[in-house]
Amino acid sequence: MCLIVFAWRAHPDFPLVVAANRDEFHARPTAAARFWDDQPGILAGRDLEGMGTWLGVTRGGRFTAVTNYRDAAPAPREAISRGVLASRYLVSGEAPSTSAAAVETHGKAYRGFNFLAGDRAELWWVSNRGGHARKVEPGIHGLSNHLLDTPWPKVTQGKRRLGEVLELVPAVEPLLALLADTAEAAQGDLPDTGVGAERERQLSAARIVSPTYGTRSSSALVVGADGKVRFAERAYGSDGAELDTLRFEFTLN
């Protein structure tokens, strides 16, 4: 997952609104979003290689998401998939603060990541690249492949667009639309993460189109104060073509 913009307690009727793109190698085996057979209370996509997820929600109101952190640091030997952080949290009964603290303690076992863990009461963020666990304050926030609210172009633009469409929820289509932008940032606005100028430009788009690595899916999540949840996942092919859109609605336990 390489772009997440979310509104946490920024709307009186919808305490959590999330729009997120998952960027991944197209060859990596993946299961589309569904309620898991082995954990029927979890709604999420699934990485079939690491058996984790990049974003998910439970019938009890737990929410999580991860992004990778882009840097040139060598990976730990036999590093665990970062998606396991998310799936473990969804399965566990831990409070978000407890999970975030544990992730901070054991973060060296993983490649660089950002991790969000929340429930109906609180939301926490932590990174193993210098971002100590902290409670997320109400407002509109964004994550890409650096720390929380780092003003990379697509994060800044995504937060602005989320603010513009926030009054349109619970409709999920405006959230999916803001994630569909394939425009690349101007050269002078690009960060320098050590991957080269051409790659930085390609990765600067909200939705990345590339035959080998790009945006595999867009997710929209709206959690209402009344407990009603709306979730949609739109898949994309390696050529950028829009594929299936899955939609779910349920009420929290």
Is the pLDDT assigned to residue 62 strictly greater than 70? yes
Read off the pLDDT of residues 150-191 as tens digits, 9 standing for 90 and up: 999 999 999 999 999 999 999 999 999 999 999 999 999 999
Express as a percent the part of the chain with pLDDT over 90.
Answer: 91
pTM above 0.75, yes or no: yes
In sequence order, the 6+-apart residues with CB closer than 8 A to the CB of 15 are 8, 9, 120, 223, 224, 225
Stretch 22-30: mean pLDDT: 97
- Residue 79's pLDDT is 80
Interatomic CA distance for residues 215 and 72, integer angstroms: 21
Q: Give me the CATH code for the 3-251 domain, please.
A: 3.60.60.10
Q: Which residues contact 155 (CB under 8 A, 6 or more apart)?
A: 3, 5, 142, 143, 144, 149
Percentage of the chain lying above the pLDDT 70 cut: 100
* pLDDT tens digits along 88-104: 999 998 999 999 999 99
Residue-wise pLDDT for 34-60, tens only, equals: 999 999 999 999 999 999 999 999 999
Mean pLDDT of all residues belonging to the chain: 96
**What is residue 185's predicted lDDT score, i.e. its pLDDT?**
95
